[in-house]
């Protein structure tokens, strides 16, 4: 008897999803807990596993169809069940069928693509079956696809050169032919591609526009001398990594600095609900991470109570999950303050948008050497611009500037983080 596969619970407040891609086709063998379909929600992509081992008998929902939590989307049949053969004529001669090449479990695993890998495959126009997977059980990773795309791109110039050489061989017949006076220069193929926005992309667009329409957004700026932090990292990075198994990055310093500054300016860590202001005695930092399908903001909870090592480990784990498309709705639930690091992409300056219902977001940017005045002398220092976007309905300009100055002071003198100044 077939086993029903229903849409699982997808997280708090999520009641429906969209069928993104079927990872198995009817007739394919499936193992227990093996993903068979990818569902896209407003926040994350979720792979639905098979509740039993057997064969995918039916795909009830189509790609692009919206399905509610608990809805039937597939049926799994007995692995031994096969379609009944058509009535045959009287046997004239026994024919031994040729043995079909066996498909290894590694090959099957390689063709099971995570959402991040599928995105990379579509963007780079790569045939996944032609790539050898380096992941667990032979699965393809995003790095495998990008490496294949780079290899494909590097071979293109050589092919193009050969083509040009063959085309430029003079022809005695065409040499005497006059050029057409009205000929238009060729501009090559011009194509357009239309792709439906994913639910996550639609939700991001809606929430960001709502933030602009609802909040009284304002941004204040400051710059910070990164010399002390850079020196501290250089001095202790090896010992830190040896002891904690994680590299010491800049985010740990900034999260700790934000926690320190929020004690002096609690409105930055507050939110508006109706006609009330909600102050939080904890700091849940949403860390903006670039994922294959858009910007996501997983939450580092109780960041004000965490050590440098705990913060760095939490951020590194979220970064890996975002890259693999494995973030869950629970990972991104809540958050009282956001830190966005556009500097990793080379941004010099920006005005980040708050993530409702939060009231502020800190934007970090790239570090570059600039001349600054120190003790009456012009010196070169590694400087970073900081931007604080905030909801002016809740946070006054004085509070916003004070908060950003506190962050600047803590970064320029990390000792403040230890003695709570």
What are the extents of the domains in the chain?
3-79+104-148, 204-419
Phi, psi (deg, nearest 5) at residue 277: -105, 130
| Cβ within 8 Å of residue 82, ≥6 positions away | none
**Number of CB atoms found within 10 A of residue 382's CB:** 14
Angstrom distance (rounded) from CA 94 to CA 140: 42
Both tokens of 145, joined, read 């696809």
Angstrom distance (rounded) from CA 142 to CA 127: 13
Query: What SS3 state is found at 388?
Result: strand
Q: Among residues 33, 231, 392, 413, which one is catalytic?
A: 392
Cβ(325)–Cβ(116) below 8 Å: yes
Angstrom distance (rounded) from CA 314 to CA 332: 13
The whole-number pLDDT of residue 185 equals 59
Cβ(145)–Cβ(117) below 8 Å: yes
The whole-number pLDDT of residue 94 equals 44
CA distances from 78 to 5, 56, 388 (A): 14, 9, 58
CA 16 to chain centre: 21
User: Nearest-5° angle of CA 61, CA 66, CA 71?
Assistant: 60
Q: Among residues 231, 396, 413, 420, which one is catalytic?
A: 396
Strands of 72-77's sheet, edge to edge? 3-6, 72-77, 54-59, 29-30
| Cβ within 8 Å of residue 308, ≥6 positions away | 240, 248, 252, 253, 256
Per residue of the chain (421 residues), what is the pLDDT tens digit?
Answer: 788 888 888 766 677 888 888 888 888 888 888 888 888 876 667 788 888 888 888 888 888 888 888 888 888 888 655 433 434 444 444 444 444 444 444 444 445 567 677 777 777 777 777 787 777 667 778 788 888 877 776 555 544 444 444 444 444 444 444 555 555 656 777 888 888 777 777 777 888 888 888 889 999 999 999 999 999 999 998 999 999 999 998 999 999 999 999 999 999 999 999 899 999 999 999 988 777 666 778 899 999 999 999 999 999 898 888 888 777 778 888 899 999 988 888 899 999 999 888 999 999 999 999 999 998 999 999 999 999 999 999 999 999 999 999 999 999 999 888 766 5
Both tokens of 212, joined, read 């602009």
Residues found in the chain: 421
User: Nearest-5° angle of CA 65, CA 71, CA 74?
Assistant: 75
CATH number for the region 204-419 comes to: 3.30.559.10
Give the end-to-end CA distance of the chain in Å, rounded to a whole number: 68
What is the topology classification, in CATH, of domain 3-79+104-148? OB fold (Dihydrolipoamide Acetyltransferase, E2P) (2.40.50)
Cβ(400)–Cβ(220) below 8 Å: yes
Cβ(10)–Cβ(74) below 8 Å: no
Cβ(85)–Cβ(70) below 8 Å: no
The whole-number pLDDT of residue 388 equals 96
Both tokens of 179, joined, read 């050029």
Mark whether 392 is an active-site residue: yes
């Amino acid at each position: 008897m077939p086993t029903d596969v229903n849409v699982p619970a997808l997280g708090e407040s999520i009641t429906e999803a969209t069928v993104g891609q079927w990872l198995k086709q009817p007739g394919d063998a499936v193992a227990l807990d093996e993903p068979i379909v990818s569902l896209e929600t407003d926040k994350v992509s979720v792979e639905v596993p098979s509740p039993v081992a057997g064969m995918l008998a039916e795909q009830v929902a189509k790609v692009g169809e919206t399905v509610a939590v608990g809805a039937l989307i597939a049926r799994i049949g007995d692995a031994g069940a096969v379609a009944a053969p058509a009535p045959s004529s009287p046997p004239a001669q026994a024919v031994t069928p040729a043995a079909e090449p066996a498909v290894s479990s590694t090959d099957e695993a390689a063709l099971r693509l995570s959402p991040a890998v599928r995105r990379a495959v579509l963007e780079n126009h790569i045939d996944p079956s032609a790539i050898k997977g380096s992941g667990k059980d032979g699965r393809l990773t995003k790095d495998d696809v990008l490496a294949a795309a780079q290899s494909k791109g590097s071979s293109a110039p050589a092919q193009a050169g050969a083509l040009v050489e063959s085309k430029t061989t003079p022809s005695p017949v065409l040499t005497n032919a006059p050029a057409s006076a009205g000929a238009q220069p060729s501009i090559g193929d011009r194509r357009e591609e239309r792709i439906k926005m994913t639910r996550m992309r639609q939700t991001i667009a809606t929430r960001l526009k709502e933030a602009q329409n609802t909040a009284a957004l304002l941004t204040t700026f400051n710059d910070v001398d990164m010399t002390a932090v850079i020196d501290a990292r250089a001095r202790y990075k090896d010992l830190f990594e040896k002891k904690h198994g994680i590299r010491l990055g800049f985010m740990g310093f900034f999260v700790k600095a934000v926690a320190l500054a929020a004690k002096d300016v609690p409105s930055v860590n507050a939110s508006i609900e109706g006609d009330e202001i909600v102050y939080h005695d904890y700091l849940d930092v949403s860390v903006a991470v670039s994922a294959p399908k858009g910007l996501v903001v997983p939450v580092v909870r109780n960041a004000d109570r965490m050590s440098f090592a705990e913060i760095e480990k939490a951020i590194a784990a979220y970064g890996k999950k975002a890259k693999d498309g494995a973030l869950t709705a629970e990972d991104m639930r809540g958050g009282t303050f956001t830190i966005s690091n556009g500097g990793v992409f080379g941004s010099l300056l920006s005005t980040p948008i708050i993530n409702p219902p939060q009231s502020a977001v800190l934007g970090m940017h790239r570090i570059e050497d600039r001349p600054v005045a120190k003790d009456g002398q012009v010196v070169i220092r590694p400087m970073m611009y900081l931007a604080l976007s905030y909801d002016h309905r809740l946070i006054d300009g004085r509070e916003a500037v004070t908060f950003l100055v506190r962050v600047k002071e803590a970064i320029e003198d990390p000792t403040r983080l230890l003695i709570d100044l």
